[in-house]
Amino acid sequence: MEDVFREAKTQLEKGQPVVVATVVRTKGSTPQKPGAKLLVRNDGSGVGTLGGGCVEGDIWFAAKELMKRGGSAEHRDYQLNEDLAAQDGLVCGGTMYFLIDPIYRPDKYLSYADEINRAYEGESSVALATLLKPAAGSFDSTGAKLFIRDDGTTEGTLGSADLDAEALNKSSDLMIHGNNEYIVSLNGAEYFIEAYTTPPQLVLCGGGHVSNAIAPMAKKLGFHVFITDDRKEFANKERFPEADMIVDLKPEDAFPELPINRNTFIIIATRGHRYDNVALAAAVDTSAKYVGLLGSKRKTVLIYEDLIRSGVDIERIKQIRSPVGLDIHARTPDEIAVSIIAEILMFKLGGTGAPMKIDEWRVDKIRDKVGETISVVE
């Protein structure tokens, strides 16, 4: 999405109108998920993607036509039935909901795009709420916007003080990881909130084999990677070429030197119980929302006992992910790294960690359907 907002800023600074199409909700199997964007320039060219195929082509055409006639924002759905999906070689069969949002005047959007770009570059997190469907009897318009900063200040309105307050409250959690949410309010109004923040940060406490396996995976997934280990032979650029920062100190001494925020993930994987204990106590005292400890359940119990004795709040202890990772029976450092990265992504993206395997009853239904088709042919 970053390229879309950079291009929006560029075009608006030139005084050129744009249309931004956004996937705001999906049902079933679809080629893109909420938050996917396509920017259409005044000359008809574009930046971004909604998943390709005829869906993107139709939305692209609709965006160009909307801009030609000077129309206002539209909220529309697009059903991907089997025939339509087959035309594009897809196997999707869900429904996609889009906001097609024309921006004709720079003063209506330029400052938002600028702050969103700065949020991506490391400044304060922001969120943008857009009205999709006004409440019954309301005179509010689709496309109305409320821009929200992490200090609680706002610009614009969704049309009512109650909706604005609700969106402001919802945005605080979304801004932590840059997530989005489609919301149906109690009064029937529907709106979409997108939050924008810095890239996620991963602090690996300990430069051992597991951290060495995690670091390149995290880097490929867009994390800023920080390494801390007081042993220089384990904390160096040769061992961690992908690290954005290496601090050759114990974790408890390194944390004050690292830019830890709510979008930071900390993994404690030092060289022993005593070091893990002190490092974990320091980690839970930071603002990081995710803190994980590598080790057995017995080790976890012993360290938790020490944390409780030292006065650490029990609710903060309950937030610790330990033993860290999803249960995939991982044994080797690489397998353990996959388990940990999978849990981090689950936490960040709001997943469940459950298998996506199709239910057996559905397989039976498919078999019955195929059997009926064969019978008809015969």
Instruction: Give me the chain's average pLDDT, please.
Output: 91
Q: Decide: helix, strand or coil at residue 362.
A: helix
Strand order in the sheet with 18-27: 46-48, 37-41, 18-27, 95-103, 74-79
Q: Which residues pair with 40 in a beta bridge?
A: 19, 46
Structure tokens given for 195: 């939050």
| pLDDT reported for residue 376 | 61
Percent of the chain with pLDDT over 70: 95
Distance separating alpha carbons of residues 12 and 180, to the nearest angstrom: 24
| pLDDT reported for residue 81 | 61
Task: Please count the helices (runs of H) and the strands (runs of E) in the chain.
Answer: 12, 15
Mean pLDDT value across residues 301-313: 96
34 upstream amide cis, omega within 30 of 0: no
Q: Cβ atoms within 10 A of the Cβ of 173, count? A: 13
Could you report the per-residue pLDDT of 291-302, keeping only the tens digit for each?
999 999 999 999
CATH 3.40.50.720 location in the chain: 201-349
| pLDDT reported for residue 140 | 85
Q: Is the pLDDT of residue 28 over 60?
A: yes
| pLDDT reported for residue 343 | 98
Q: Report which residue type is found at 258.
A: L
Q: Which of 132, 143, 116, 139 is nearest to 2 (CA)?
A: 116
| pLDDT reported for residue 90 | 47
Mean pLDDT value across residues 230-249: 96
- For 201-349, which CATH class? alpha beta
Q: Is the pLDDT of residue 201 over 80?
A: yes
| pLDDT reported for residue 243 | 97
| pLDDT reported for residue 95 | 87
| pLDDT reported for residue 89 | 47
More confidently predicted of 356 and 202: 202
Mean pLDDT value across residues 23-37: 87
Distance separating alpha carbons of residues 178 and 289, to the nearest angstrom: 13
| pLDDT reported for residue 299 | 95
Q: Is the pLDDT of residue 256 over 70?
A: yes
Could you report the per-residue pLDDT of 54-107, keeping only the tens digit for each?
788 889 999 999 999 999 999 998 887 655 444 544 445 678 899 999 999 888
Q: Is the pLDDT of residue 373 over 60?
A: yes
Distance separating alpha carbons of residues 27 and 51, to the nearest angstrom: 15
Could you report the per-residue pLDDT of 323-370, keeping only the tens digit for each?
999 999 999 999 999 999 999 999 988 889 999 899 999 999 999 989
Q: Which residues pair with 220 in a beta bridge?
A: none
pLDDT band with cut points at 50, 70 and 90 for residue 31? confident
Distance separating alpha carbons of residues 226 and 303, to the nearest angstrom: 24
Could you report the per-residue pLDDT of 149-191, keeping only the tens digit for each?
999 999 999 999 999 999 999 999 899 888 999 999 999 999 9
